[in-house]
Amino acid sequence: MSAQSAIHMTSAQASNVVALRPQVALTHQRGTRLVDLKPKYGGASSQVEVRYLWAGAAHAPTVVVQGGISADRDVFTLDGQPGWWQELVGEGRAIDLRHCRVLCIDWLVPGDFGGQALGSVSTEDQADALAAVMTELGIEAVEAFVGYSFGAMTGLAFAKRHPSRLGQLLMFSGAHRAHPMATAQRSIQRQIVRMGLASGQSELALSLARQLAMTTYRGSEEFSRRFAAAPEFRDGRFQFPVEDYLNHVGQKFVERFDVERFLALSEAIDLHDVDPGAIQLPVTLIGVASDRLVPLADLCELQRSLRGATLEVIDSPYGHDASLKEVAKVAPLLRQALNCCCGV
Amino acid sequence: MSAQSAIHMTSAQASNVVALRPQVALTHQRGTRLVDLKPKYGGASSQVEVRYLWAGAAHAPTVVVQGGISADRDVFTLDGQPGWWQELVGEGRAIDLRHCRVLCIDWLVPGDFGGQALGSVSTEDQADALAAVMTELGIEAVEAFVGYSFGAMTGLAFAKRHPSRLGQLLMFSGAHRAHPMATAQRSIQRQIVRMGLASGQSELALSLARQLAMTTYRGSEEFSRRFAAAPEFRDGRFQFPVEDYLNHVGQKFVERFDVERFLALSEAIDLHDVDPGAIQLPVTLIGVASDRLVPLADLCELQRSLRGATLEVIDSPYGHDASLKEVAKVAPLLRQALNCCCGV
């Protein structure tokens, strides 16, 4: 099947046309490009391999879509495991591939810079990588940058550094800087992982870091509803219902993520600090009242700095994860904002 | 100085009279009593050594005061390091030792039961230990039980099991059960500590567990105000201002606490589950809107079950720690409630 083979091609030339509906010809490129990048934290300019997905209606305008640090370029997939925003990106979906193309990259890590960088990576680096890939693909400007969490932070860096290459910015649950309480929680996650690296327990440590992260992603009410049952005495100690969930979440993460990647991207969130003052283009901020990681107060502060930006609030018990779970609430916001290019 | 010698006496007979003000003779007992206790989780009845402080005006009514899991019997001290509620307990203070006596014990841990218990300890065990010490000291009933955090939970267990021995209950930032989100956060703390025990990194692990606990004790706004500065590049990596604070907090805890004690008392919070339905005596609940560990919603639920209990809300950015930091807001609540025996 041609779509599948495209998914597994990694050369810079991977490109083909897949007719998913008789009437719409969709292009689907999933490849890599070598681009020149100068990292923010030390190091000279170097050639970096950027993995991207560019898919949708041929010749339609492009929309960048970037997710959290654990998301990859597969915002949707044509087969296999669903992409991280599968229900929102596709033909007839809120980001409608009959009317636009999505462009997404895998996040860069310091190792991609070939030992040039200080060991830290920035949202500016990610934004520059996207701009360089756009140039390689012949995309002068994208209609919109839709970012969630770390993707939203990267979108702000992109708007700051490459304003002429962007029509509008949509930021879901991401701000101009990390909140110090969230930095504290991520710092502890990184310390756990470094402790595990030092003692040969890196898998357990990464699982614990993810478990801790999950307590910051989700709302308190949701946990209250799901995990109110009494503990069981098992394997020599009391086990609480929420612990089974946390262990499962941690284990799943260990299977698909690695320690160095986690350390670098977690730190990149905390290093993120973009002055939004000079940004002129239209920005829509989307926040969630139950988000413990990115408080609404920080989005209000960002809105004030941006002057004229719109702030939408999603009512959800899912906290920072609401943009992943509340498809029915996120879709209308996307449709409304992208009406110019992708609306149905 | 006789007060000092009393502080260092640990026999069951330690008792003396200290004239701190010419007009008021204060008694000050800091000793141990052997009592029979049957732990909730397995094991037969056994003799347990309970360390207590009983201090205040001779022949005045007694008020039990118990703090969080890291607090000890020294709610105040006459010299040396200040007690954990030093500013609220003393002559002329909100709990006025010219008009009452305070009774406090060190929390029991499973090791105190001499290998009889399952390795878990309960708020019921702590409540029974207090009741047994009261019997030993000849205290038929106390005027009030003032508990903060784990102490509040223990107070509820005491009211349930020994209702005739108590006039009223004041619960600061503690409920009838742990919130599942807080259980999740404590479970991760215990997993970190068990991981450190397995690899010989128990001090680092205990420090990390405490750091994580601190992010749950404090409010988000306070962190935002204190730790907004940019990171510094130091010792090969970026260090965020909040990390210096967290490391300091973790280190201080390691110096005064041990791993087994932490594991047992942290678990005891999560095992706490007292049905408040049958409790008839006057109860005052004191909550804090910014408390991330004990949400006001849980205190409202407890208030409904108790029927007729009073709920007071402290406005503070200090979250779960507000009862330790907001002396000026806590004092009037104590004075009002304890008016019958300790008011000034």
**What percent of chain A has pLDDT above 70?**
90
Q: Which domain-ending residue is among B242, B268, B294?
A: B268
A168 and A303 share one domain: yes
How many Å lie between the alpha carbon of B319 and the closest alpha carbon of chain A? 13
Residues of B forming the active site: 149, 291, 320
How long, in residues, is chain A? Answer: 344
pLDDT in tens, A40-61: 997 788 999 999 999 999 999 9
Going through chain A in order, the beta strands assigned E by DSSP cover 17-21, 24-37, 46-57, 62-66, 89-90, 95-96, 101-105, 142-148, 166-172, 232-234, 237-239, 283-288, 310-314
Chain A positions touching B199 (Cβ under 8 A) are 199-201
Mean pLDDT throughout A208-233?
93
* Cross-chain Cβ contact B271/A120 below 8 Å: no
pLDDT of the residue at A339: 77
User: How many domains is chain B partitioned into structurally?
Assistant: 2
Q: What is the largest CA-CA distance in chain B?
A: 62
pLDDT of the residue at B78: 85
How many Å lie between the alpha carbon of A253 and the closest alpha carbon of chain B? 16
* Cross-chain Cβ contact A208/B228 below 8 Å: no
Structure tokens at A35: 């681009």
Give the torsion sign (CA, B315, A228, B157, B44): negative
What CATH number is given to the structural domain containing B278?
3.40.50.1820
Provide the β-strand partners of residue B79. Answer: none
Mean pLDDT throughout A224-228?
92
pLDDT of the residue at B221: 87
Asked whether residue A5 is domain-assigned, the answer is no
B19 and B94 share one domain: yes
B237 and B290 share one domain: no
pLDDT of the residue at A140: 98
B179 vs A227: CA distance, rounded Å: 9
B65 and B151 share one domain: yes
Task: Give the model's confidence band at A4: pLDDT under 50 very low, under 70 low, under 90 confident, else very high.
Answer: very low
How many Å lie between the alpha carbon of B290 and the closest alpha carbon of chain A? 12
B43 and B83 share one domain: yes
What pTM was estimated for this model as a whole? 0.91
Average pLDDT over chain B reads 91
Cross-chain CB nearest to A120 (options B185, B238, B273): B238
* Cross-chain Cβ contact A204/B187 below 8 Å: no
B195 touches chain A (CB under 8 A): yes
B334 and B190 share one domain: no
A118 and A246 share one domain: no
Task: Give the model's confidence band at B2: pLDDT under 50 very low, under 70 low, under 90 confident, else very high.
Answer: very low
Q: By the 8 A CB rule, do A54 and A100 touch?
A: no
Task: Give the model's confidence band at B220: pLDDT under 50 very low, under 70 low, under 90 confident, else very high.
Answer: confident
Listed in sequence order, the residues at least 6 apart from B88 whose beta carbon sits closer than 8 Å to its beta carbon are: B94, B95, B327, B330, B331, B334
Examine the pLDDT at A175 and tell me if it is beyond 90: yes
H/E stretch holding B101 reads strand B101-105
First to last CA, chain A: 29
A153 and A114 share one domain: yes
Boundaries of domain holding B215: 180-268
* Cross-chain Cβ contact A242/B180 below 8 Å: yes
First to last CA, chain B: 29
Task: Give the model's confidence band at A219: pLDDT under 50 very low, under 70 low, under 90 confident, else very high.
Answer: confident
pLDDT of the residue at B23: 62
A235 touches chain B (CB under 8 A): no
Q: Which single residue is written with the structure tokens 């680092």?
A: B204
* Cross-chain Cβ contact A184/B273 below 8 Å: no
Percent helix, strand and coil across chain B, each rounded to 5? Answer: 45, 25, 35
How many Å lie between the alpha carbon of A72 and the closest alpha carbon of chain B? 25
A240 and A320 share one domain: no
A46 and A112 share one domain: yes
B79 and B158 share one domain: yes
Chain A positions touching B296 (Cβ under 8 A) are none
B28 and B135 share one domain: yes
Q: Which domain-ending residue is among B268, B293, B323?
A: B268
CB < 8 Å from B in window 15-44 of A: none
What CATH number is given to the structural domain containing A238?
1.10.1740.110
Structure tokens at A40: 């923010």
pLDDT in tens, A227-274: 999 999 999 899 999 999 999 999 999 999 999 999 999 999 999 999
Structure tokens at A242: 């929420």
